[in-house]
Structure 1
Amino acid sequence: MTGTDSLMPPGTPSVLGAAPDVTEDAREYLAAGGYRGALGAAELLDRLDGLRGRGGAGYPAAAKLRAVRDAGPRPVVVANGEEGEPGSVKDRWLLRARPHLVLDGLARAAEITGAERGYVYLSDTTAGERVRRALAERTPRLPCEVVDTPHTYVAGEETAVVRRINGGPALPTAKPPRPYQQGVGGAPTLVANVETLARIALVAAHPERRHRTVRSTLVTLSGRGAEPLLVEVPYGCTLRTLARAQGTPEPAGALMGGLFGGLIGPGRLDLVLDPDTLAAAGTALGCGAIRFLAPDECPVSLASAALAHLTAESARQCGICVAGTGAVRDAVGALTDGTADTGLLTRLERWSASLPGRGACGLLDAAAGTAGSLLRAFPDLVRAHLGTPCPDCAAPADAGRLTVPVPHVARRTVPRPRSAPASR
Structure 2
Amino acid sequence: MTGVFSLLPEGQLGLLQSPLSGAEPYGDTEDLPRYLAVGGYAPLPAPDRLLDWIADAGLRGRGGAGFPAAVKLRAVRDAPGRPVVVANGEEGEPGSVKDRWLLRHRPHLILDGLRLAAAMTGAERGFVYLSDAPSERAVRRALAERRTGLRVDVVRTEPAYVAGEETAVVRRIDGGPALPTPKPPRPFEKGIGGAPTLVANVETLARLAVLHACPDVAGAVAGAHLVTVSGGAGTAAALVEVPAGTHLKLPADLCGHGTADAVLLGGLFGGLYGSRWADLPLDHDRMTAAGGALGCGALHFLHPGDCPVAVAAEATAYLAAQSARQCGVCVSGTEALAGALTAVGRGETDDDTRDRLRRWSGQLPGRGACGLLDAAARIVATLLAHFPDRIDAHRRATCPACEAERSDDGGRFRVPVP
Q: TM-score range by the shorter chain?
A: over 0.9
Counterpart position of 1:133:
141
Q: Do structure 1's residue 339 and structure 2's residue 348 form an aligned pair?
A: yes
Counterpart position of 1:34:
40
| Contact 1:341 1:387 (8 Å CA) reproduced | no
Counterpart position of 1:264:
273
CA separation of 1:38 and 1:129: change in aligned 2, threshold 3 A: closer
Which of 160-169 and 132-141 deviates more?
Answer: 132-141
2: CA distance, partners of 1:368 / 1:155:
20
Counterpart position of 2:187:
179
Offset from partner CA, 1:75-119 (integer Å, 9 cap, x none) = 000000000000000000000000000000000000000001000
| Contact 1:123 1:149 (8 Å CA) reproduced | yes
Q: Do structure 1's residue 114 and structure 2's residue 125 form an aligned pair?
A: no
1: CA distance, partners of 2:361 / 2:396:
22
Counterpart position of 1:392:
401
What is the DSSP-based 3-state SS (H/G/I as helix, E as strand, rest coil) of the residue aligned with 2:325? Answer: coil
2: CA distance, partners of 1:89 / 1:204:
25
Amino acid across the alignment from 1:297: D
1: CA distance, partners of 2:185 / 2:147:
34
Number of equivalent positions? 407
Counterpart position of 1:422:
none
Per-residue deviation, 1:138: 1.0
Per-residue deviation, 1:41: 1.2
Offset from partner CA, 1:110-167 (integer Å, 9 cap, x none) = 0000001000000000000000000001122211000000111100000000000000
Amino acid across the alignment from 2:13: P
Counterpart position of 1:149:
157
| Contact 1:37 1:205 (8 Å CA) reproduced | no
Counterpart position of 2:26:
20
After superposition, residues 260-299 of structure 1 pair within 5 angstroms as 260-299=269-308
1: CA distance, partners of 2:320 / 2:237:
25
What is the DSSP-based 3-state SS (H/G/I as helix, E as strand, rest coil) of the residue aligned with 2:412? Answer: helix
Amino acid across the alignment from 1:10: E
1: CA distance, partners of 2:361 / 2:169:
28
Q: Could you list the runs of 4 or more consecutive aligned residues of structure 1 that deviate by over 3 angstroms after TM superposition?
A: none
Counterpart position of 1:3:
3
Counterpart position of 2:226:
218
| Contact 2:2 2:255 (8 Å CA) reproduced | no
> Which of the residues 369, 372, 392 maps onto 2:381?
372
Structure 2: 5+ residue stretches without partners: none
Counterpart position of 1:248:
257
What is the DSSP-based 3-state SS (H/G/I as helix, E as strand, rest coil) of the residue aligned with 2:395? Answer: coil
Counterpart position of 1:416:
none
Q: Do structure 1's residue 97 and structure 2's residue 108 form an aligned pair?
A: no
Offset from partner CA, 1:208-259 (integer Å, 9 cap, x none) = 1101001101000001131000010001211112211111121100000000
Amino acid across the alignment from 1:347: R
> Which of the residues 308, 314, 323 maps onto 2:323?
314
Counterpart position of 1:209:
217
2: CA distance, partners of 1:266 / 1:228:
21
Q: Do structure 1's residue 401 and structure 2's residue 404 form an aligned pair?
A: no
Offset from partner CA, 1:171-211 (integer Å, 9 cap, x none) = 00000000000000000000000000000010011111101
Amino acid across the alignment from 1:25: D
Structure 1: 5+ residue stretches without partners: 408-424
CA separation of 1:14 and 1:37: change in aligned 2, threshold 3 A: farther
Counterpart position of 1:419:
none
2: CA distance, partners of 1:70 / 1:262:
36
Q: TM-score, normalised by structure 1?
A: 0.94
| Contact 2:59 2:222 (8 Å CA) reproduced | yes
Q: CA RMSD in A?
A: 1.1
> Which of the residues 38, 43, 50 maps onto 2:49?
43
| Contact 2:44 2:116 (8 Å CA) reproduced | no
2: CA distance, partners of 1:324 / 1:285:
23
Which of 392-401 and 160-169 deviates more?
Answer: 392-401
Per-residue deviation, 1:387: 4.9
2: CA distance, partners of 1:51 / 1:93:
20
What is the DSSP-based 3-state SS (H/G/I as helix, E as strand, rest coil) of the residue aligned with 2:180? Answer: coil
Per-residue deviation, 1:376: 0.4
2: CA distance, partners of 1:84 / 1:268:
24
What is the DSSP-based 3-state SS (H/G/I as helix, E as strand, rest coil) of the residue aligned with 2:288? Answer: helix
What is the DSSP-based 3-state SS (H/G/I as helix, E as strand, rest coil) of the residue aligned with 1:401? Answer: coil
| Contact 2:170 2:187 (8 Å CA) reproduced | yes
Amino acid across the alignment from 2:250: T
Offset from partner CA, 1:27-61 (integer Å, 9 cap, x none) = 11111001005632111101111111000010000
Amino acid across the alignment from 2:3: G
1: CA distance, partners of 2:284 / 2:198:
22
| Contact 1:37 1:204 (8 Å CA) reproduced | no
1: CA distance, partners of 2:249 / 2:207:
26
Per-residue deviation, 1:13: 2.1
1: CA distance, partners of 2:141 / 2:45:
27
What is the DSSP-based 3-state SS (H/G/I as helix, E as strand, rest coil) of the residue aligned with 1:402? Answer: coil
What is the DSSP-based 3-state SS (H/G/I as helix, E as strand, rest coil) of the residue aligned with 2:404? Answer: coil
> Which of the residues 392, 396, 404 maps onto 1:383?
392
Amino acid across the alignment from 2:247: T
2: CA distance, partners of 1:341 / 1:240:
37
Which of 31-40 and 171-180 deviates more?
Answer: 31-40
Counterpart position of 1:420:
none
| Contact 2:240 2:251 (8 Å CA) reproduced | no
What is the DSSP-based 3-state SS (H/G/I as helix, E as strand, rest coil) of the residue aligned with 1:144? Answer: strand
Amino acid across the alignment from 1:381: R
